[in-house]
Amino acid sequence: PERLCNAKWVYYTSLGKGSEALHDPLIAHVAESGAKLVFQPGTHQLRLGIAGIGRVIAASHVTIMNKEECERLVGDGTADMRVLLKRLRSLDCEIAVITDGPNGSYAYDGKEFLALGVFEVPIVERTGCGDAFATAFVAALHYGNDLSEAMRWGTANAASKLGFVGPQTGLLTLDGMKKFLAKFKDIQPKRM
């Protein structure tokens, strides 16, 4: 489709058995088009291990997963966030991001390790918070923001989502994002 051919970002996430047939065409597409790949692997993809998804990670600009997923993929028994980020990024993605629920998020771009706690908000339901984080993180990069601000956007979208039932209600628009971030302007990522 023409829309995909003109896309600046391609977001590849959880798909079931057989989706590995998409890997080669996807990798070729981002290489040919110059689009930036964001990879947030799902359960089936993670079961394929590094042998099955390593090439997709290597083709990605951003790879995002939660701590438990990252521990299973590259942990070798460690829970140390810096080690996990380094190992994930060593698979050749540009930016490695790990979310850790109520403990916040962590990112490494090869230059600096950043950590950001959560924005304290009332919690109704957690469904969809990881996806809310990931999509807003990428939107921030799309709009020209740096890694630090991308972490804030992801955290804001996840925090907003926490106040609602279901995976979509509560997701922020661009104007909503600006207003939400203004409430938490003093909470910034810190170097690890």
- Cβ burial of 80 (10 Å; 0-12, 13-18, 19+) is exposed
Structure tokens at 16: 């079931």
Give the span between the Cα atoms of 72 and 29, in whole angstroms: 29
Beta bridge partners of 60: 37
**Are 101 and 76 in contact, with CB atoms under 8 Å apart?**
no
CA distances from 26 to 41, 86, 105, 145 (A): 14, 25, 27, 25
pLDDT digits over 111-159, tens only?
A: 999 999 999 998 888 888 899 999 999 999 999 999 999 999 999 999 9
| Token pair 């950043």 in the structure block, residue | 114
Entry field: residues in the chain: 192
6 band by pLDDT with thresholds 50, 70 and 90:
low
Specify the pLDDT at position 1.
Answer: 41
Is the pLDDT at 4 greater than 60, yes or no?
Answer: no
pLDDT at res. 155:
97
Q: Are 162 and 122 in contact (CB under 8 A)?
A: yes
Which residues 6+ apart lie within 8 Å of 6 measured at CB?
Answer: none
In the DSSP assignment, the letter for residue 73 is: I
- 18-77 tens-digit pLDDT: 889 999 999 999 999 999 999 999 999 999 999 999 999 999 999 999 999 999 999 888
